[in-house]
Structure 1
Amino acid sequence: MRYINCGFERKMIKLLFTGVLLQVLCSFATQKVKTTLYYESLCPGCHEFIKDQLVPTWKNMSDYMLVELVPYGNAQRNYSGGHWHFKCQHGVLECEENLIHACAVDLLQSRETNKLLNFINCMVFHSDLELHKKTSWCIKNAEIPERKIIACVGGPKAESLILSMAEKTESVTPDWLGVPTVQINGVYNPNEQEEIVDNLKSIICKYLGNPQPDICNQV
């Protein structure tokens, strides 16, 4: 005769149920909307979006967002003498600042979005300051390793970084319409751009679906 340890079986069933429940809860907890911003470092409209929409929305909804920054915009590129050369809409200073932003993105985006957005927001807020002065100040303010940014800007990786930003920007479909441009979950929807620029939070909540976090019900 086979004796069944009912207490043991009940414990196993309880553990299995708990594991499944945790998986379901975690799937809700980790649901995130990817927000990709294509912009230029000296674009006034981009500055407004970063200050008024992207950063405040991130501060309130960072648990539900993934942010990707692509600093390039309406720049142009050509290949000569074995290297890529870039011409930016707002001149040489914008190309220099785009590169600084790109280096910060490369250093921080995958693991320290808070620091990255603090740095970018600082650069935008102090846009009237001389480039090197505001860069140094904002690096310290965001607690970023300055030597790594300097090494990136002046190193062999700089050209390939900007090239990668160019290629990402040029891949946006439908046709590129200007900056700021935002993709949600990797998709560019021209019909949503106006609402994104005016109320990014509502778009994030829309893509989160149900059940929605409490922040989505707050004015």
Structure 2
Amino acid sequence: METPALLPLVLLLMVLVQGSAMTHPKPACRYPPSQWCHSLEIAVQCKVLKQCMELRALRPQNAPLVSVSVFYRSLCPAWRRFLVHQLFPTWSMLQDILRVHLVPYSSSKGAPSDWFVPCQPEDPECSVNMIESCVLELSGGSGLEVVSCMETSADVLSAARSCVRLFAPSVSWAAVQSCVSGSRGPLLVNQSISATRALSPSPSHLPWVTINGVSPPEPD
């Protein structure tokens, strides 16, 4: 299968953002990642001038849309690090050409698309997956921002309502609750389970990323 044209660019930017996030503590820069490359002054202050120059040099003109799907478990530490240090900053810089599709995966057994094992109190990840699935469907383009807000909070479940209000004000919390407690939420979770299990090759770990439907080669 042909490698997507912007695959090297997206992968490089994820690596560059991760490196800058780990090297330069957040307090050193008072601007969000979406503004890092907006001006020379901001790039210098946030210590990402080299990365911004490389991004500008590599990015083709009239670039086509790139679809990135991320399959993840909501409370997984690896997913939360990936979201904070790589995915969200990358999307912030390339959101005009980057379409991110989040797929919260639940380990609950749910083969039929119209059946779901209800979340148990001892399984908070199941509840978060359900809420995020509903939020992603209801909030449309704001879904990534809502999920990022939730996942960067100390208590993901408790933060859900305020994150929806802040980043998706057109979505009522009552609508989210209706989705979660009704038939739509379980259906969305089962669709995510089916989509994750249908991946080829099968994911060796989560989070798992595909770009334009293609799984990037894993490092040796």
TM-score range, shorter chain: 0.5 to 0.7
Higher strand share: 1
State the distance in 2 between where 1:68 and 1:121 align: 13
RMSD: 2.4
Q: Which has the higher contact order (CA 8 A, sep 6+)?
A: 1
| Residue 173 of structure 2 corresponds to residue 141 of structure 1 | no
| Structure 2 unaligned spans of 5+ | 1-60
TM-score for both structures, normalised by structure 2 = 0.64
Indicate how the Cα distance of structure 1 residues 183 and 130 shifts in structure 2: closer, same or farther if over 3 A, else same.
closer
- Of residues 73, 85, 88 in structure 2, which corresponds to 1:55? 88
Runs ≥4 in structure 1, deviation > 6 angstroms? none
What is the CA–CA distance in structure 1 between the aligned matches of 2:216 and 2:119, rounded to whole Å? Answer: 27
CA contact (8 A) 1:77 1:87 kept: no
Deviations 1:90-135 (A, max 9, x none): x5100000000100111233xx2xx212111111111x2262x211
Q: Which has the higher helix share?
A: 1
Give the CA deviation at 1:146. 1.6
Confirm or deny that 1:182 pairs with 2:209: yes
Larger Rg: 1
Cα distance change of structure 1 residues 156 and 60 upon mapping to structure 2, 3 Å threshold: same
Q: Calculate percent identity across the aligned residue pairs.
A: 27
Deviation at 1:37, TM superposition (A): 0.3
Deviations along 1:41-82, one digit per CA (max 9) or x if unpaired, are 100010011111111111110111111000015x131569x8
Query: Structure 1 residues 50 and 130, CA, compared in 2 at 3 Å: closer, same or farther?
Result: closer
TM-score (norm 1): 0.64
| Residue segments in structure 1 that go unaligned for 5+ positions in a row | 1-27, 195-219
Change (3 A) 1:150 1:42: same
Quote the residue 1:170 is aligned against.
197
The yes-or-no answer on 1:69 pairing with 2:95 is no
